[in-house]
């Protein structure tokens, strides 16, 4: 029995020159538009190339197949979201938990909704081992940055930061996906920003303990926590 050929998810080459970068961005944008119109099952490289205004041969210079193209679009989007989360966490070391939550939630919502069409389109492609592994990698990076931030909170401490951040990010991701799939109207997004902060802050405060390692000042803070 012959073996099935292995599908490559890796792009053929990375754009270096400005013209190549513009071409790849046009292909990515066309991929999102086609995904939204016909879904992942009916998306073809021919349709994407036509929408991008390039030849199929040009598309194949960068992406050997449909799977590689979809994976690359997903990777770019998830990396953007992950970078935004890491930067927000790094900016808030040493702050109170409430301040940390506000900054991280807003960064997450901004990153996911800056191009809500991309987030919505890619939800339908997040299947398979490669996609799952990519999502796990980006998620763990963001969660590690959040755990490092929470470890420096001035008003609280956590007994299991790894699990705490896992639950926090799972909740945030589930809520924003539900909002996107419901249409993400301006009113919904406005409520999302406020209520996701409340949800996240309430959860963290419920599992946190007062920080007691700073002498009298911490003791007073603990008394009012």
pLDDT digits over 16-74, tens only? 455 688 999 999 999 999 998 998 889 999 999 999 999 999 999 999 999 999 999 99
CATH topology of domain 74-212: Tetracycline Repressor; domain 2 (1.10.357)
Q: Evaluate if pTM is beyond 0.85.
A: no
Predicted confidence at residue 18, as pLDDT, reads 53
Instruction: Tell me the CATH number for domain 18-64.
Output: 1.10.10.60
- Residue ranges of the alpha helices (H) in 151-214? 161-181, 186-207
Integer Cα distance of 22 and 131 in angstroms: 25
Domain coordinates in residue numbering, the chain: 18-64, 74-212
| 74-212 shares the fold of 18-64 | no
Considering only residues 121 and 96, tell me which one the structure prediction assigns the higher pLDDT: 96
Cα atoms found within 13 Å of the Cα of residue 71, Cβ hemisphere only: 21
**Torsion angle of the four alpha carbons 186, 116, 140, 72, in this order, in degrees rounded to the nearest 10:** 180
- Given a cut of 80, whether residue 225 has pLDDT beyond it is no
- Given a cut of 80, whether residue 151 has pLDDT beyond it is yes
- Given a cut of 60, whether residue 215 has pLDDT beyond it is no
Task: Kindly write down the DSSP assignment for every residue of 92-152, as one continuous string.
Answer: TTTS-HHHHHHHHHHHHHHHHHTTHHHHHHHHTT--SHHHHHHHHHHHHHHHHHHHHHHTT
Rg (CA), the chain: 21
């Amino acid at each position: 029995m012959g073996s099935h050929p292995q599908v490559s998810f890796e792009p053929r080459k990375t754009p270096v020159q400005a013209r190549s970068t513009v071409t790849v961005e046009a292909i990515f944008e066309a991929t999102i538009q086609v995904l939204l119109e016909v879904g992942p099952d009916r998306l073809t490289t021919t349709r994407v190339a036509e929408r991008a205004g390039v030849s199929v041969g040009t598309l194949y210079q960068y992406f050997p197949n449909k799977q590689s193209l979809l994976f690359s679009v997903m990777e770019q989007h998830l990396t953007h979201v992950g970078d935004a989360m890491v930067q927000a966490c790094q900016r808030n070391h040493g702050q109170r938990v409430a301040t940390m939550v506000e900054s991280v939630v807003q960064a997450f919502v901004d990153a996911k909704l800056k191009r809500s069409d991309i987030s919505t389109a890619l939800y339908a492609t997040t299947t398979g081992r490669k996609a799952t592994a990519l999502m796990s990698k980006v998620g763990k990076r963001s969660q590690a940055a959040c755990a490092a931030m929470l470890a420096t909170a001035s008003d609280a401490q956590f007994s299991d930061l790894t699990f705490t951040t896992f639950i926090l990010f799972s909740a945030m991701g589930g809520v924003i996906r539900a909002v996107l799939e419901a249409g993400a109207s301006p009113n919904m997004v406005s409520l999302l920003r406020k209520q996701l902060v409340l949800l996240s802050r309430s959860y963290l405060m419920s599992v946190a303990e007062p920080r007691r390692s700073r002498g009298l000042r911490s003791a007073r803070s603990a008394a009012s926590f």
